[in-house]
Amino acid sequence: MLPADIAVLDLDEAALDFHPRYDAVSREYVYTIYDAPVRHPLYRLNALHVAEPLDVGAMNAAAADLVGEHDFAAFGLPTAGDVTVRRMLRAECRADLPLVCLELEANGFLYIWCAASSGPCSWWARRDDAGAVSRCDGSARSLSRRRAGSAAGLCLTRVNY
């Protein structure tokens, strides 16, 4: 029996040597931000609260710089070994205010990557530090560690095989 927060939407028979983690070609996450001056108690577990107005256009510009193959060591820790190079297939923000969603799809994610990406993306939307995201360098590492979002709002939405 599955926990109440997991639902099976589709099911196919797999080969005997199938591994759900290692055979995935990409994973998709959505990070939800509640963008309003006052927090909403019903969203406390499902969205990161940001009191300052976000510029979704600026967030999209910062997220677009993540697309492609980069060394993302600035945003997280390797899941196994030392390799931190990943291919971001899609990174975009969409807004249905007061909710802002950061959607990410990559061939793999680093440990704490999504929360570490959402914090700086919302920070860059309010400040003039957007260059750090395109560099994926020490300044991005420093910013992502200081501004990481919480796990509230992070949801794995799809695993592609």
Angle in degrees, CA 71, 104, 161, rounded to 5: 90
Domain count, the chain: 1
Q: Is residue 14 part of a domain?
A: no
Tell me the residue range of the domain where 131 lies: 26-160
User: Which residues touch 87 (CB under 8 Å, ≥6 apart)?
Assistant: 68, 69, 106, 107, 108
Q: Is the dihedral of CA 151, 157, 102, 78 positive or negative?
A: positive
Which amino acid is present at 23?
Answer: D
Per-residue confidence (pLDDT) for residue 94, from 0 to 100: 93
The pLDDT tens digits for 63-95 are 888 899 988 887 777 787 888 899 999 999 999
- Between vectors from CA 152 to CA 105 and to CA 107, what angle results, nearest 5°? 15
Tell whether 18 is covered by a domain.
Answer: no
Domain contains 3: no
pTM summary value: 0.77
4 lies in some domain: no
Whether 122 and 149 have beta carbons less than 8 Å apart is answered as yes
Q: Using the predicted structure, report yes or no on whether residue 119 has a pLDDT greater than 90.
A: no
Is 34 among the domain residues? yes
CATH number at residue 107: 3.30.70.660
- Of 41, 34, 36, 61, the C-alpha closest to 120 is 61
Structural domain contains residue 20: no
Taking CA 49 as the corner, what is the angle to CA 76 and CA 144, rounded to the nearest 5 degrees? 20
The answer to whether residue 8 sits within a structural domain is no
Q: Distance of CA 17 to CAs 14, 20, 39, Å? A: 8, 10, 47
Q: How far apart are CA 23 and CA 11, in angstroms?
A: 16
In a domain, 36, yes or no: yes
Banded pLDDT at 104 (limits 50, 70, 90): very high
**Mean pLDDT for all residues in the chain:** 80
Confirm if 25 and 31 have CB atoms less than 8 A apart: no
Of the listed ranges 54-63, 77-86, 101-110, 139-148, the least confidently predicted one is: 139-148
Helix (H, G, I), strand (E, B) or coil at 105: strand
